């Protein structure tokens, strides 16, 4: 499929490749929930990094303290203190990514004030976590001593029940303390290493403004296309039909008149077919009556090349999502027929928990451009639903267009 001939891979949606899909997405994002041994190892490592952070703040603060108090040297001393803190925070960020699966923005620079605040909070929480873990280990050791004394008979039932009750309460408090500290670690990383709520809100406003402008532009382009189809196609055929009927009426002999009427009848049939095609390009009526699957079947019937469709949707789809999915398939197939010299097109429409994925792949020559005329409208339709449109079209093919449409 071709637009203007620039090959490559493009992800478009919202205002660019870093589209925000919900109103205010929270950072960090997570690839997958790691296993508990991995998270436990990350927690233990966090106690060590917290000790390093505390030592840096104490030692560097003590050395640079006089320079921080003097206005002329304050900026330089603060820069040295923050430089060391940034290295330690980079280690913390790597720890959260490796052991907890968190993903942070790649090119987001955290202000110096937030770096120091995060390191202070992380150091305090990490050291407190180390104390709680030490108490837990001590409790396990005491439980072993208690069990050994009970087996030897030096501990009675009354003392055993009292110790078990007290140990159970302390174990509950210890575990709750660990869970609370783990939650504090995640919240502080989210607050300090990712964009703030204000930054997310500003980014979201920019994306909505860009999406609204793209939708308006797409609607205008669609209107111009419809006007062009009616003017260059339907209107010209109507003029020809009127001329044929006029010639038949003025004819004095029945044989030429019958031939002209037959030609007018064929022209009328062709005109009806073209009107039906224009109506389908504006909005397919099958979406309202039969649903997305049947509407895609209509695309396959009208396609000039074989179209293989895999439709795996078990739950009803919102009407805007159905419409966007239909036009993604329809426009992609049209581009493949017109520009890519493809011999077959494969379409997969799959519903999953996050939304709907529409994948169109042809075996053509490739070279599609995300900013080409046909694909620009698809980009606007998908972006209006907070979706993502991925276009992979190297020279020589194949071309793959994937739309991810949220259904929430």
What does the mean pLDDT of the chain come to?
80
User: With pLDDT > 90 as the criterion, what percentage of the chain qualifies?
Assistant: 17
One fold for 8-17+290-406 and 206-282: no
**Residue 14 DSSP one-character state:** T
**pLDDT tens per residue across span 193-234:** 877 667 778 877 887 777 777 667 766 666 777 777 677 777
Residue count of the chain, please give it.
408
The alpha helices in 101-196, defined as continuous H runs, are 112-152, 157-193
| Least confident residue range of 25-29, 174-178, 198-202 | 25-29
pLDDT of residue 13 exceeding 60: no
What's the rounded Cα separation, in Å, for the pair 45 and 176?
20
Q: 3-class SS at 390?
A: strand
206-282, which class in CATH? mainly alpha
Pair 194, 108: CB distance under 8 Å: yes
How much is the pLDDT for 129? 93
pLDDT of residue 94 exceeding 60: yes
Between 406 and 256, the more confident residue is: 406
What's the rounded Cα separation, in Å, for the pair 167 and 153?
20
User: What contacts 400, CB < 8 A, 6 or more positions away?
Assistant: 359, 360, 361, 390, 391, 392, 393
What's the rounded Cα separation, in Å, for the pair 75 and 221?
54
Task: Copy the structure tokens of residue 220.
Answer: 């205008």
Domain residue spans in the chain? 8-17+290-406, 33-100+109-193, 206-282
Residue 253 burial by CB count (10 A; 0-12/13-18/19+): exposed, middle or buried?
A: exposed
Q: Is the torsion defined by CA of 353, 315, 355, 6 positive or negative?
A: positive
Listing DSSP states for 271-315 in one string gives: HHHHHHHHHHHH--THHHHT-HHHHHHHHHHH-SS-EEEEEE--S
- Look at residues 23, 43, 377 and name the one whose alpha carbon lies nearest to residue 181: 43
How much is the pLDDT for 120? 92
**pLDDT tens per residue across span 108-127:** 778 888 899 999 999 999 99
Q: Residue 102: which pLDDT band, with cuts at 50, 70 and 90? A: confident
Mean pLDDT along residues 159-182:
87
How much is the pLDDT for 131? 93
CA R_g for the chain: 34
| Beta strands 388-393 and 29-30, pairing class | unpaired
**Residue 3 DSSP one-character state:** S
Q: Residue 74: which pLDDT band, with cuts at 50, 70 and 90? A: confident
In angstroms, the Cα distances linking 217 to 51, 133, 200, 210, 251 are 56, 60, 25, 10, 50
**pLDDT tens per residue across span 274-311:** 776 666 566 666 677 778 888 888 888 878 788 899 99
Residue 234 burial by CB count (10 A; 0-12/13-18/19+): exposed, middle or buried?
A: middle
**pLDDT tens per residue across span 319-371:** 888 888 888 888 888 888 887 788 889 999 999 877 899 999 988 888 877 66
pLDDT of residue 63 exceeding 70: yes
How much is the pLDDT for 408? 67
Q: 3-class SS at 356?
A: strand
Q: Is the torsion defined by CA of 27, 31, 33, 38 positive or negative?
A: negative
Mean pLDDT along residues 12-23:
38
Backbone angles phi, psi at 406, to 5 degrees: -70, 145
Strand partners for 12: 389
Between 43 and 111, the more confident residue is: 43
CATH architecture of 8-17+290-406: 2-Layer Sandwich (3.30)
Between 333 and 8, the more confident residue is: 333
Pair 22, 200: CB distance under 8 Å: no
Q: Residue 240: which pLDDT band, with cuts at 50, 70 and 90? A: confident
How much is the pLDDT for 54? 93
């Amino acid at each position: 499929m071709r637009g203007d001939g620039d090959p490559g891979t493009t992800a478009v949606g919202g205002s660019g490749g870093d589209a925000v899909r919900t109103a205010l997405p929270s950072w960090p994002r997570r690839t997958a929930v790691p296993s508990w041994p991995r998270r436990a190892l990350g927690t233990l490592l966090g106690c060590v990094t917290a000790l390093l952070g505390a030592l840096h703040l104490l030692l560097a603060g003590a050395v640079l303290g006089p320079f921080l108090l003097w206005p002329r040297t304050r900026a330089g001393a603060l820069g040295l203190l923050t430089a060391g803190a940034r290295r330690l925070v980079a280690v913390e960020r790597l720890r959260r990514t490796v052991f907890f699966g968190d993903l942070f923005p790649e090119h987001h620079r955290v202000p110096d004030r937030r770096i120091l605040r995060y390191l202070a909070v992380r150091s305090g929480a990490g050291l407190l976590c180390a104390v709680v873990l030490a108490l837990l280990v001590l409790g396990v050791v005491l439980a072993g001593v208690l069990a050994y004394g009970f087996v030897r008979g030096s501990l009675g039932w009354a003392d055993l029940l009292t110790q078990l009750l007290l140990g159970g309460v302390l174990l509950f408090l210890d575990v709750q303390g660990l869970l609370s500290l783990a939650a504090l670690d995640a919240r502080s990383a989210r607050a300090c290493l990712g964009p703030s709520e204000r930054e997310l809100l500003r980014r979201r406003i920019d994306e909505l403004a860009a999406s609204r402008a793209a939708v308006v532009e797409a609607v205008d382009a669609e209107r111009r296309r419809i006007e062009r189809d009616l003017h260059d196609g339907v209107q010209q055929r109507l003029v020809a039909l009127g001329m044929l009927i006029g010639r038949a009426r003025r004819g004095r002999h029945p044989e030429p008149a019958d031939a002209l009427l037959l030609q007018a009848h064929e022209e009328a049939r062709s005109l009806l077919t073209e009107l039906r095609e224009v109506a389908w390009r504006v909005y397919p009526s099958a979406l309202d009556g039969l649903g997305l699957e049947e509407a895609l079947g209509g695309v396959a019937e009208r396609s000039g090349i074989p179209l293989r469709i895999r439709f795996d949707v078990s739950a009803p789809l919102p009407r805007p999502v159905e419409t966007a999915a239909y036009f993604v398939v329809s426009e992609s197939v049209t581009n493949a027929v017109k520009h890519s010299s493809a011999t077959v097109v494969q379409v997969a429409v799959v519903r999953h928990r996050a939304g709907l994925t529409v994948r169109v792949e042809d075996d053509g020559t490739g070279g599609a451009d995300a900013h080409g005329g046909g694909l620009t409208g698809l980009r606007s339709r998908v972006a209006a639903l907070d979706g993502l449109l991925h276009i992979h079209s190297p020279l020589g093919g194949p071309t793959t267009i994937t739309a991810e449409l949220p259904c929430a």
